[in-house]
Structure 1
Amino acid sequence: MLLDDEPTEEDKANELEARIKAPIVWTRLESGLRIEDLQEKRFEEAATILREHFLNTEVTFKSINILDDDESVEEFLSNAKIQMKDKASLVAIDETSNDAVGILLMRVVDRVAFSRTFSRVKLTYGRNYSTVMKFYNKLEKPVNIHELYGVQKYLKIFTLAILPEYRHRGLGKEMYKCAIASAAASKINVIAGIFTCVRNQELIETVGFVKHNEIYYAKYIDGDEIVFSDTGAGNYTAAFMAMKICESDIIARPETPILHHDFIALTETWLNESVCDFEIFDDRYLVFRRDRASRGGGVLLAVRADRVRSAQQIHRLQSSSVVNVTCTNAGSSLRTHMITLNSVSCVLIPKN
């Protein structure tokens, strides 16, 4: 091997720093999407999705034409970026284009912050934004999650925004499931949020949420007028909903590594979309799966993240019996401890 190919100490340090700062990947989907922590480098991308694909479709904001009120739009986006900085939000990435296609904004709400929120008048300046926030406060204030569930803090869902071409494919449900896994990993055993359309309410109920307060749009009147008069077909109420995460769902990360293998290949995994990657391996491994739609079968390949510069699943084969991953070498001078394969596959061979 030529000495010129050897990375410098600075290169090694930069690679290590990049791995440390890399987001936790909560799951990878068969459709070629992954769901991971939302990091600062994607904040502007997230804000664009919210401005162009959320405010014009979300029931309450659309009903009052918030996009006609520039001050309200800017105030909404400003608050959204504050929520992003709490580092509790998630983003869905298309692995082919590396573009963000979905955002789930969340924050941890502790008991003191909750008391502070409802003990003072919140200053908002955009007229339309103020109207929606007043409605949300009326919906949420009667329910004290901390007392109801006996907790000091809970994870609050604020916004789910998905690009139009990625909707109605199950991505929303997967992001909600990852939110639950994220709360469990942080030992937060309650998650809650306001859901303004019937589709989201029914979807969130399938993962265990229950309604604690509900307001009919037709009965929410300011003066003599219904505030939200154009809510769309079937959207009759907004609901404040929550879920108690069972103790068995609280995931404790191992303090010391248990596995040291560069590759782990599994067949007959019997996994399905209800099982997140995080439940199988910690963030030291990149996980690639082919789950079978029917009972049984399935293959999985886990790759040590610190052994490769990058790894990507190849979707040329549609079979649920093959997972093929291409790897880029980490480039360390310790070649004997590094992966030198360009690609690796895990294949389930039928008995017959």
Structure 2
Amino acid sequence: MNTTRPPPLQGNPPSYAFVTRVYRRSLRPVIIVIALLSAIWTLLWSISLFQEVGLDQDQHEHKLSIMAIVLGAMYLAIAVIGFFGVLAASLQRLFLIRLYVMATVIAAVLVVAAGIMRVVVHFVFKNDLITECTNLSTGATVDYRSGIWGPYSETQLTQPEAQSFCDNAWSHDSAGEIISLLIEIVMAALFCSISVSYYRQMLDPTSVVNSSRAPSSQYRGGAFPARYNPPYSTSVPELAYDAPYGHPAPAYAPPPGAPPKAYGGLGGKDGYDSDHDEEFDPARLPGYTPGDAKYGAGDSKTDLKDPFADFEAPSLSARRDGAPGEERDVTSRPRPGEREGFNV
């Protein structure tokens, strides 16, 4: 089990990414297609440049041949990185994808550097390029076609015609080299952003990449196969919680001695009042009305007191006489049997 894997990155791609809107979709097909196309394109460039090396040496243009070798090697390295990206995305191995993301940055730098080098060679070695083009075009056969379906004619270029032809070709290629460099810079940045976003999808356990290839729980038996990335780092041990609700309540032994008396008073030896202690009688359970023998176990005087009173209130006769300290609602009418009016 991988114990060195960093925790997954949360949230959407960074603000510099151009693929924020398509982050919820799998970028694996996009990576495969773009990597394959870039690999084929750079491979064709490298083959063309290596073929040009022999031509430059035949024309004794050694500087151009050295530049062609350097550019061909750079494009070949980019092609190798592209094919490696196709392999990494096809296998969906996190280690390979991590290497490919780092290699993508190198490939982007190589693409931009190769474009800048082509522009520099085009303008710095202008005379060498035109001279080589003139030597190769003098005496060559050129086909001229009138319209799409019209007749065409063949002619051989003289030295002045070849010179003019090469000058026009160089001027035309100047704008093309600059536009090509700008496009390569934009495409390199876009492809790097897509690669980083795909790597973030591989790290995110909730992304569509991991959820689409997660095996069924009924077949994997709770274990993650080698090709499926665990959702987070397993370096921290699992902390189990021992819930007390899954265990039965412990048994307790009864207290020693006989059970307490049924009716107790306010204090004494065996209860709260030894004068009122009585033996337990199941037939004499507490009653519910005053005067009932089963109303309660305490003193009859204390039983008739108001259990909700929090102070010593005046008696009923004192309240009828209007004793001081009485609290009453002055807005209410007197109760039946009381005098009309208020006492001052």
Q: TM-score, normalised by structure 1?
A: 0.24
Which has the bigger relative contact order, CA under 8 A and spacing at least 6?
A: 2
Q: Which has the larger radius of gyration?
A: 2
More strand by share: 1
More helix by share: 2
Q: TM-score, normalising length from structure 2?
A: 0.24
